[in-house]
Amino acid sequence: MKNLLRAAIAVVPFLAAPVLAHVPESAPPADAHQIKVGAYIMSLGQFDLATGSYTVDMYLTFRGAKEDLDKLDFEFMNGRGGRDPIKRTDTVAEYRVQASLYEQFDFHHYPFDTQTLTIQLEDKRLGMKELQFTPNKSDAGIDPKIVLTGWKITGWDHAATEQKYTGDDDSFHRFVMTTKLKRAGFSSPLKVFVPLACFLMVMGITLLLRPGSAEGRLTTNTLLLVGAVTYHVTGVMGSLPPLGYITLADWVCIATYVVIGASLLQSVRMFRLAVSDQKDAAMTVYKQSLTLVPLAAAIAYPVAILAGMNL
């Protein structure tokens, strides 16, 4: 079963990770090979949100008894990579590794999302009864000079977990190093929300147009709604991979539809009354708009933010 999964990863490196069942870690068997693992990341690159792929240049250091290191034959479980032996003694095996890895990113809170990059490795043959990994902090870390455009590294961690594959009697020990990222600065929120703010500003100006300018107000609000939808599809959704859920940015765009739609509805009412020469009624709608449209915004945006933050 495990060989089939490894073959699938070799053919299609960016497919979803193998189906696993997480099993709580237990005390290692007395005869299991004990190997300490440390990963030091030298660089991160080719970070592609659309495919969930990225490259890692790192040093992997394994420490243990000679007979344990001789049996070790590791592989990456979330991608593949080449390794060059750097150092080998009776108790240490060190490799320079350049790997192409992938991750399933979470965009629920976009553009305020945080992401996690992982390095996942297991032995190709030895199950948990034969081999145990122990994270070694002295050989682990991240080069502080790493620059990932648009992102800031906020920390890292590592752990060893037991993994059970469907169809295999034995479980396997997996070493996982995680690197946590957050978006740097305010460029992403500004790119998303400033255009929406401009739509709202223009819409707000149209609220000041009296019934005599009802036709121009109606035309402007119609164009604003079309523009907001176009921006949502191309500017917001177009910057992300296809998703099966609604992001925070999507919710804010939907709230913008509601507000502009409320203004458009009032514009239609005012226009119809104006062309039928019901000036007093048209003026009443004009005055109502000054209250109803801001009220729609005061309700729609808090609801959108709460929904987007899963509160």
DSSP secondary structure letters along the chain: -HHHHHHHHHH-TTSPPPPEEEE---PPPTTSEEEEEEEEEEEEEEEETTTTEEEEEEEEEEES-HHHHHH--EEETTEEEEEEEEEE-SSEEEEEEEEEEE-----TTTTS-EEEEEEEEEESS--TTTEEEEE-GGG-EE-TT--BTTEEEEEEEEEEEEEEETT-SSEEEEEEEEEEEEE-TTHHHHHHHHHHHHHHHHHHHHTT--GGGHHHHHHHHHHHHHHHHHHIIIIIGGGS---SS--HHHHHHHHHHHHHHHHHHHHHHHHHHHHTT-HHHHHHHHHHHHHHHHHHHHHHHHHHHHHHTT-
The CATH number of 2-183 is: 2.70.170.10
Residue 295's pLDDT is 97
Are 2-183 and 187-308 the same fold in CATH?
Answer: no
- The pLDDT of residue 287 is above 90: yes
Average confidence (pLDDT) over 246-266: 97
What residue ranges do the domains of the chain occupy?
Answer: 2-183, 187-308
Q: Which residue has the tokens 């060190």?
A: 94
pLDDT in tens, 73-128: 999 999 999 999 999 999 999 999 999 999 999 999 999 999 999 999 999 988 88
CATH superfamily of this structure's domain 187-308: Neurotransmitter-gated ion-channel transmembrane domain (1.20.58.390)
227 φ, ψ (degrees, to nearest 5): -65, -40
Please give the single-letter amino acid code of residue 231.
Y
Distance CA 255, CA 302 (A): 9
Please give the single-letter amino acid code of residue 123.
D
pLDDT in tens, 25-68: 445 455 678 899 999 999 999 999 988 999 999 999 999 999 98
- The pLDDT of residue 22 is above 70: no
- The pLDDT of residue 19 is above 50: no
Residue 26's pLDDT is 46
pTM attached to this predicted model: 0.81
